[in-house]
Amino acid sequence: MIRIPLYLAVAQWALLGALGALVVIMYRQLGRLLTGTARAEALGPVAGGRAAALTYARPGEQAQRQLTPGGGQPLLLAFVDPTCPSCEELVAVLGRISAAGDLAGLRTLLLISDPPAYLQISEVFSSTGIEIGRPVRREGLESYRVSATPLLVAVDGDGVVCAAGSVVRPAEVLAFARSCLLPAPEAVLAAPEAVRRGEDGT
Amino acid sequence: MLPVAVLPVAALPVACKAAVAVLLVAAGGAKLADLPGFAASVRLFWPGRLAAVPLDAVAAGLAGGEVAVGAASLCCPQAGWLNLVVLSVGGGFVAVAAVGYARHPGRPCRCFGSSSGRGFGPAGIGRAALVAACAATATLPVRQSALQLGPAGRLALLAGALLVAAAAYSAAAAIGAGRRGPRRA
């Protein structure tokens, strides 16, 4: 009869247990990806619906400001957080596009949920020239369905959501930003397929 | 699995040692799949005066070190000093969980990379304390015959550890693909 050392017997069961748990985790994630629930959570508001008004405050300011979509000016809202690496990537891309003048005619606002002090830990956030705000009330925020960051929402001058999704690549962000600026047929041609559907383009 | 009724006294420290080692390997492997995300968590604890240090490299070092310590502890059970290294790592987990809860409550700790969306909180401190307690139990003296391992046994455990690290990496990468950023509160 072969005698297995106690440690080897215990260790192999620990390894087997860990592998079993990881297989279950992967199986569940595969199921979520196949049924689309993982992406559906990050969709944001439905394109074609009205964008809700938001109350926000700029970092370091007590004064509350009202964001009311539909005032005639298209909006590009970026729900981002300084502690989210993909958000830093998006803010850097938005900063470059903005500096190049490609966001002219579009009001761009970075909306964070992290405490304002966290802006200091991110060089990209602390140096961006784009307006930053932090929603101060939950009212209206739910309709944006921000279940994950980053989330971009483009709103036209009438307050209607043109597109919503999680895009980071410069070309897609640019097409996304322009989707509300161009006349409808051009916007449809310019926006990539994933953006038109409001899905993550990556 | 060994029936509980016939478990020798030595089984508890041995089981704790194996469980903590496998946990370290899995956690390190998962962190390696999302280094930018883990670096963002590291940055929460990083002193401002060391801002020039590349945090991605620090994060990679921490995650890789976790895998290395876990694999070494699993494959070399007779090296008692490794138990103390694992215990100090467990103590580090408790410290990070406590400081994280005090200074950044609710922020994602990314203890298992993208595969864990849990933030710093009391439950996290409890989990870290449990890991540290297991690591402390593993330092209890065990008769050497229970830890006897031949070269083939070591190699098999090393292969198993690398397999767990690879599986944890894959699981975390798959979850990260479906969830780009941290959940909002």
- Taking CA atoms, A154 is separated from A9, A30, A164, B116, in Å, by 58, 30, 6, 30
Instruction: Please check whether residue A146 touches B, CB under 8 A.
Output: yes
**Residuewise pLDDT in 10s, chain A (202 residues):** 667 778 888 888 899 999 999 888 888 877 777 765 555 555 678 777 888 888 888 888 888 888 888 888 888 999 998 888 888 888 998 988 888 888 888 889 999 888 888 887 788 888 888 889 988 877 777 778 887 788 888 888 888 888 888 888 888 888 877 777 654 444 444 444 444 444 443 3
Residue of chain B whose alpha carbon sits nearest to that of A166: B180
Q: Residue B2: pLDDT above 50?
A: no
Identity of the residue in A14, A39, A202 whose CB atom sits nearest the CB atom of B19? A14
Instruction: Please check whether residue B164 touches A, CB under 8 A.
Output: yes
C-alpha gyration radius of chain A = 22
Chain B residues 129-158 with a CB less than 8 Å from chain A = 145-149, 153, 156-157
Give me the amino acid identity at B63.
A
Q: Tokens 């192999």 correspond to what residue?
A: A12
Instruction: Please check whether residue A27 touches B, CB under 8 A.
Output: no
Instruction: Please check whether residue B179 touches A, CB under 8 A.
Output: yes
- Edge-to-edge strands of the sheet including A131-135? A64-67, A54-57, A131-135, A107-111, A75-79, A151-155, A161-165
Distance CA A109, CA A82 (A): 14
- Tell me, what's the pLDDT at A2? 67
Please tell me the distance in Å from A13's CA to the nearest CA on chain B. 7
Neighbours of A60 (CB within 10 A): 9
Split at pLDDT 50, 70, 90, the class of B106 is confident
Distance CA A104, CA A116 (A): 27
Grouping H, G, I as helix, E, B as strand and the rest as coil, residue A50 is strand
User: What is the DSSP-derived secondary structure letter of residue B139?
Assistant: T
Instruction: Please check whether residue A92 touches B, CB under 8 A.
Output: no
Backbone angles phi, psi at B173, to 5 degrees: -65, -40
Split at pLDDT 50, 70, 90, the class of B1 is very low
Q: What is the model's pTM?
A: 0.66
Q: Tokens 């009202």 correspond to what residue?
A: A66
In chain B, what residues touch A25 (CB-CB under 8 Å)?
115, 171, 175
Is B174 within 8 Å of A29 when comparing Cβ atoms? yes
The number of helices, as runs of H, and strands, as runs of E, in chain A is: 7, 7
Whether this model's ipTM surpasses 0.90 comes out as: no
Judge whether B110 and B27 are in contact, CB under 8 Å: no
Is B182 within 8 Å of A84 when comparing Cβ atoms? yes
Instruction: Please check whether residue A33 touches B, CB under 8 A.
Output: yes
Contacting residues for A22 by C-beta, under 8 A, at least 6 apart: B26, B164, B167, B168, B170, B171
Judge whether A201 and A195 are in contact, CB under 8 Å: yes
Residue of chain B whose alpha carbon sits nearest to that of A151: B181
And the tokens for A77?
């809202």
Stretch (H or E) spanning B97: helix B80-103
